[in-house]
Structure 1
Amino acid sequence: MLEFDEAQARMASAGTPPNITEVCPIRKARGRVLAQTLFASLDLPPADNSAMDGYAIRLADYEQGKPLPVQQRCFAGVRPEPLQPGQCIRLFTGSLIPEGADTVVMQEDGAETEEGFTISVPPVLGTHIRRQGEDIATDAQLFAKGTLLGPAEIALLASQGYAEVHVYPTLRVGILTTGDELILPGQERSDENIYNSNGPMLTAMAENLGVEVVHALHALDTAESLDNALSTLLNDCDVVLTVGGVSVGEKDLVKPAIEQAGGKLDLWRVLMKPGKPVALAHIGSKPIVCLPGNPVSAFAVFTLLVTPLIRTMQGRATVIPDVQFGKIMADRPFEEKREEFLRVHAEFVADDQPRLRPYFQQGSGIISSLPWASGFARIPAGTRVEDGTTVRYYDLKHWLS
């Protein structure tokens, strides 16, 4: 039996990081991985500006009850005049701070009349001014090579004037499900058939990581069908995922199909539950990962073992996300010979670890547990875990993104 952590490390190193790059417009960069380290080209804000709708004053000009004549009304995007002594300039959020001004008074802290702006709340020097460079200083590192770009990263890059960035190519993934008993959702079903949930599930999981699922094929349990499907996937994809068909049954034909295509299958028995049988092969530089056929097992193996491989091949700097901790909240103890990954829902409480409540059924065919679960709680092999025990928690928000 292969220890889970060793299997995860082997899978993470089973692929090769990309060595080519392409230019991507910033508006299309969500989900792409940076192929260069980027630095700030300007201060942010680029100049002192007002954080409020209000009035720019010289604090020394303030006298209780004395109106300050309004010298100018200056909107954002307009350069203000230098502030004259004894006067004020009407500003709006984002307006530049006039030369000579040292304080902004919120419009709510006074009233404007024909005579000027009368301040009702004594101002404090320097308030409501966003200082040049207080957010980002010129030449500061924005993001390191290998950063996954999301809306927040794109916002910061756009604020620095980046119209395009160098990224790694989108990873192309192929999915192959097998089995004569499977039919597509929407087809007419007989008692001997079940709907193929693994294909759509793995497609969605892979696409959530920012890859392109080029093909999601299904092969019948014949050598010809498998050979044709595998040939198509290897021709068009960077990594191939298969589901089921790698055991030793009469119709488990994935292994010979991979060998026929020039690969050598390394079958692992991983010390994990669900998901013990996992296989890895390479044809040329392309990895082929064979997942177990039960949907929950396939979901767990993809989440915990395959996503590190995908992140490596995407060129990401972070391949294995951080693991959190939480307290198991259960009405029975758990103790297994293998590492058990319970489907749990995390309940967050103030000033304490999240409480992890297991789904009431933990069988590998219980698909209803998947949309309910927020993550996996890891129960160490050979360890008795009871209510309130602290265990590792694998949050799906981090592992499937």
Structure 2
Amino acid sequence: MLEFDDAQSRLAAAGTPPNITETCPLHQAHGRVLAQTLYATLDLPPADNSAMDGYAIRHADYTAGQALPVQQRCYAGVAPEALQTGKTIRLFTGSLIPPGADTVVMQEDGTETDNALLINQLPAKGSHIRYQGEDVTKGDQLFPMGTLLGAAELALLASQGYAELTVYPRLKVGLLTTGDELVTPGQPRQDEHIFNSNAPMLAALASNMSAEVVHVLHAADTAEALDSAFKTLLQDCDLVLTVGGVSVGEKDLVKPAIEQLGGTMDLWRVRMKPGKPVALARIQGKPVVCLPGNPVSAYAVFTMLVTPLIRNMQGRAVVLPPVQYGRLQTVTPFNETREEFLRVQTQFNDEGLPHLTPYGQQGSGIISSLPWATGLARIPANTTVQGGAVVRYYDLKHWLS
């Protein structure tokens, strides 16, 4: 069997990063990948401003019990006057600091009567001022090429005045499920049938990776149906994912269909549980990944093996998210001949390391474990792992985004 790390590396390198770019408005850039390195166009804040509602003073003008006349009321977006000696200017959050002022008194620390401020509690000199450039300095690198853009990244870019971005095209993904035993949810089902859970699951997983799911097809177990489905997928998609039909049974027709289209296939048995059978093919220069038919296995293989390929093909700088560690909470030891990826939930305590509690049933048919789990705990092959052991932890919020 192919070692898990080797399979992950080979799949990550199976695609090529994009070599074309497009321009995208900032408000449509969520989930896009930067095709350029971006730098700060201005200091942030661009000028000293007040961190709260209050009064601008010259710290040296304070005398206990003596009120300071209010020279001006300056709202955010209004240019302040220069502060005169012995006076104060009323400010609001975001108001520019007047020339000559060096401190802001919170409104809670003063009393204004008849347009004069009595300071009840003098703050330290320089208090409550956001200084020019304390957040970002003009010319700083904001984000390197290959950054996935989320809401936080867009907020920073908007603060720098970016209205359009150069990004890579969205990766177009096509999905193909196979098997005469599968029925679309909502359709009549006989005892010999099961509902097709792989199609909506994988479509959601790919969409959450910021890929564009162009087709979600199901093909009957015939050469003609598979040939037609593959032709549609290959015409419109950059990456094709199939589920089931790559074994050696009489109805496992995916491999012959790929070969009939001129594709080459590398069929592996990966040393991982769940998810041993995985195939990688290439047709017309496009990668095709064949996942195991069991939904739990397909979920695990997508998470651990397919997402690095997707990130690479999207042009992301980070292909493999960080691996964390946690302490396994179990009374039952684990010992498998394959790397086992347990569905676990995390709990945090004062120790620092998260505690990883496995789902009660780890069988590859236990679909209820998927929405319950926060991540996968990796148990080394041919190793007895007891409760309390520190193991590698793959957080789904990082690996599936």
User: TM-score by structure 2 length?
Assistant: 0.99
Matches within 5 A, 1:177-256: 177-256=177-256
Q: Give the partner amino acid of 2:242.
A: T
CA distance in 1, matches of 2:400, 2:164: 26
2:69 touches 2:117 (CA, 8 Å); kept in 1? yes
8 Å contact 1:36–1:166 — kept in the other structure? yes
Deviation at residue 232 of structure 1 after TM alignment:
0.2
Q: Distance in 2 between matches of 1:332 and 1:80?
A: 70
Counterparts of residues 53-92 of structure 1 (less than 5 Å)? 53-92=53-92
Does structure 1 residue 340 correspond to structure 2 residue 331? no
**Structure 2 residue aligned with 1:120:** 120
* Equivalent residue number for residue 99 of structure 1: 99
Q: Which amino acid aligns with 2:252?
A: D
Partner of 2:159: 159
Residue of structure 1 in register with 2:134 after alignment: 134
Hey, what's the Cα distance between the residues in 1 that align with 2:398 and 2:186?
Answer: 32
Query: Letter of the aligned partner of 1:226 in structure 2?
Result: L
The CA deviation at 1:116 is 0.4
Return the alpha-carbon distance in structure 2 between the equivalents of residues 15 and 88 of structure 1: 64
**Quick one: which amino acid aligns to residue 388 of structure 1?**
G
Distance 1:390 1:98 in 2: 57
**Mapping 1:209-358, distance limit 5 Å:** 209-358=209-358
CA displacement at 1:123 relative to structure 2? 2.4
The 1-side partners of 2:85 and 2:207 are apart by: 61
> Post-superposition shift, 1:115?
5.1
C-alpha separation between the residues in 2 aligned to 1:365 and 1:123? Answer: 64
Q: Residues 273-308 of structure 1, C-alpha deviation per residue, up to 9 Å, x if partnerless?
A: 000000001112210000000000000000000000
Query: Matches of 2:351 and 2:41 in 1, distance apart?
Result: 40
Cα RMSD, aligned residues only: 0.6
Find the aligned partners of 1:180 and 1:5 in 2 and give their Cα distance.
34
Query: Counterpart amino acid of 1:216?
Result: V
| 2:352 counterpart SS class | coil
Question: Which amino acid in structure 2 is aligned with residue 113 of structure 1?
Answer: T
Alignment-mate amino acid for residue 317 of structure 2: A
Partner SS state of residue 189, structure 2: coil
Counterpart contact for 2:328–2:390, Cα < 8 Å: yes
How far apart, in 1, do the equivalents of 2:362 and 2:346 lie?
16
- The answer to whether the Cα contact below 8 Å between 2:105 and 2:122 also exists between their aligned partners in 1 is no
Residues of 1 paired with 2:237 and 2:359: CA distance? 36
- TM-score, normalising length: structure 1: 0.99
Partner Cα separation in structure 1 for residue 13 and residue 398 of structure 2: 20
Supply the distance in 2 between the matched residues of 1:309 and 1:115 (Cα, whole angstroms).
66
Code of the residue aligned with 2:377 in structure 1: it is: A
**Identity rate, percent:** 72
- Say whether residues 1:174 and 2:189 are aligned partners: no
Provide the C-alpha distance between the structure 2 equivalents of 1:111 and 1:100, rounded to a whole number of angstroms: 22
Q: Which amino acid aligns with 1:298?
A: A
Structure 1 residue 350, shift from structure 2 partner:
2.3
Q: Partner residue of 2:32?
A: 32
Shift of 1:325: 0.3
Residue of structure 1 in register with 2:365 after alignment:
365
Q: Is the 8 A contact 1:26 1:164 kept in 2?
A: yes
Q: Counterpart of 1:344 in structure 2: which amino acid? A: V
Alignment of 1:359-398 (within 5 A): 359-398=359-398
TM-aligned CA deviation for residue 352 of structure 1: 2.2
**Unaligned ranges ≥5, structure 1:** none
In 2, Cα distance between equivalents of 1:192 and 1:247: 21
Query: How far off its partner does 1:124 sit?
Result: 1.1
Please give the alpha-carbon distance, in whole angstroms, between the structure 2 residues aligned to 1:239 and 1:66. Answer: 74
**Contact map agreement 1:67 1:115 (CA 8 A) in 2:** no
| Structure 2: runs of 5 or more not aligned | none
Amino acid at match of 1:41: T
1:187 is aligned with what amino acid?
Q
Which 4+ runs in 1 deviate beyond 4 A?
Answer: none
For 1:314, give the aligned amino acid: Q
Matched AA of 2:379 = I
3-state SS, counterpart of residue 289 of structure 2: strand
Equivalenced residue count is 401
Rounded Cα–Cα distance in structure 2 between residues aligned with 1:375 and 1:97: 48
- Specify the SS of the correspondent of 1:301: helix
Equivalent-residue separation in structure 2 for 1:160 and 1:117 (angstroms): 36
Alignment partner, residue 15 of structure 2: 15
SS of the aligned residue for 1:265 comes to: strand
